[in-house]
Amino acid sequence: MTDYLTVSTLTKYIKYKFDQDPHLQSVLIKGELSNFKKHSSGHLYFNVKDKESVISAMMFKGSASKLNFEPKEGDEVLLEARVSVYERRGNYQIYVNKMQLDGIGNLYQKLEELKKKLSKEGYFDNSNKKPIPRFPKRIAVLTASTGAAIRDIHSTINSRYPLVEQVQISTLVQGKQAKDDIIEKIKYADQLDVDTIIVGRGGGSIEDLWNFNEEEVVKAIFECQTPIISAVGHETDFTLSDFVADVRAATPTQAAVMATPDQYELLQQIKQYQFTLTRHIKQYVEQHKKHLEHLASYYKFKQPSLLYDQQIQRRDDLEKQLNQKLASKLEQQQHQLNILKQRFNPKHLETSIVRNQQQNGQLKSRLTQKINNDLSQYKNALKSKIEQLNQLSPTNTMLRGYAIVNKDDDVVTSTKDMSENDEIVLTMKDGQIDAIVKKVRCNDE
């Protein structure tokens, strides 16, 4: 019995061998993440697999905190790890020190970064989504001219809603030139006055679908005024075009379903509406029929004269009142007319004219007398003023032997304004005398 080993002893020995092997202390491994879990402690537990094998792996919190991306299921990664044995289960596993995305994984990382950026800028907000018209007249389909996508969309639309016009726009959906072609065709379709645009293609790898993750394509879809349904890839495929579009369809077929109503469902709805409308009409007619029967049983309808007897009598009363008011009005008008006739009687008018003429003659005579008296008074007053002016006139003064002395065209009134040898002019009643002052004598000297 002493030659038999316990399970734990053998496991410890194998772990010892793994830990002592320098080739297993640092190995570089390439594979795909699966069964990825992040423990509450911060440690990462996952498997690394390829097409033929699977290895259990873990990454301690310290190493995981140094990662520049968020690992997730399906990531292709490059690992630097140590190989050892987990004694409790007796399984060998790797302890990862470093991890980075590989190839396609880099595309996923780029996709996530671009998605976060565009989401932050509001390109994916629901408030910007436009509703898809329920009954479109024209639908533009942007996809490759050959392939399953165009056939599925075309056949689905024809079977569901053959009334709609399909505008098929051949579009590159893969390759280097696809991005610019998608943008160009979206702008072109937006000018065609269509109700809905379907942008789609069949499934493929992330590289095949990458043109629908380009930022320029996302912005072209966002700026499009026509509602857009994105149908890129299969149900499990997601692109940024799906997030920015007004509606995301899992497949091209589903996009055609979303864009059109089902003619059979519409026929059923029409039949249901017809049934409901017929029922309501019958109910309406029945209700009004009963109401009519109720009215017909009214006693006045059985003896129609009761409906208009009183009205006829009321009409007669109103007619009588109207005639009385007309007669009264005519009488008033006739009375006013007689008053006017009397006021404008020719004899009365002639008497009035003669009386007015006499009054005018009297007023004229009084006015003439008043004017003559005023003129006489004005003449006497004027004569008196003239006599006063003559008494104050210098001419009358000079007639009595006085003269006016002028020096330099000014009248001299005082000896103080005169000097010896001044040239003066003496104005008398019959002419002027030029003189020279020989001596000036003032009364106060």
Q: What is the 3-state secondary structure (H, E, C) of 169-222?
A: EECCCCCCCHHHHHHHHHHHHCCCCCCEEEEEECCCCCCCCHHHHCHHHHHHHH
The residue whose two tokens read 């404008």 is: 344
Q: Is residue 54 helix, strand or coil?
A: strand
- pTM score of the predicted model: 0.46
250: β partners: none
Please report the pLDDT score of residue 232 as a whole number.
87
Q: Which residues pair with 428 in a beta bridge?
A: 431
Residue 197 and residue 229 in contact, taking contact as beta carbons nearer than 8 Å: yes
Task: Give the single-character DSSP code of 303.
Answer: S
Residue that the structure tokens 């990662």 belong to: 67
Q: Tokens representing 57? A: 């792996």
- Among 102, 108, 112, which Cα is nearest to 32's? 102
- Residue 34, CB-side half-sphere exposure with 13 Å CA sphere: 11
Which pLDDT score, from 0 to 100, does residue 134 have? 92
Token pair recorded at residue 81: 């790890």
CA distance 242 to 222: 11
Both tokens assigned to 396: 């009358």
Q: What pLDDT is recorded for position 388?
A: 80
Q: How far apart are CA 207 and CA 173, in angstroms?
A: 11
- What's the confidence (pLDDT) of residue 139? 94
pLDDT in tens, the chain (445 residues): 567 888 888 888 888 888 888 888 889 998 888 889 999 988 999 999 988 889 999 999 999 998 888 888 888 888 999 998 888 888 889 999 999 877 655 667 777 888 888 889 898 899 999 999 999 999 999 998 887 888 889 999 999 999 999 999 999 988 888 889 999 999 999 999 999 999 988 877 777 788 888 899 999 999 999 999 998 877 777 888 889 999 999 888 999 999 999 999 989 999 999 999 999 999 999 999 988 888 777 776 667 776 777 788 888 888 889 999 999 999 899 888 888 777 766 667 777 788 888 889 888 888 899 898 988 898 888 888 888 877 777 766 666 767 788 888 888 878 777 888 888 888 887 888 888 888 878 876 5
User: In whole angstroms, what is the distance from residue 57 CA to residue 35 CA?
Assistant: 10
Give residue 399's pLDDT.
Answer: 67
> Measuring CA to CA, how many Å separate 148 from each of 159, 178, 202, 255, 386?
16, 18, 7, 13, 135
- Look at phi and psi of residue 286 and say left if phi exceeds 0, alpha if psi is from -120 to 50, else beta: alpha
Which pLDDT value is given to residue 345? Answer: 67
CA 425 to each of CA 397, 403, 406, 428, 441: distance values in angstroms, whole numbers, following the listed order: 17, 10, 5, 10, 18
pLDDT of residue 419: 83
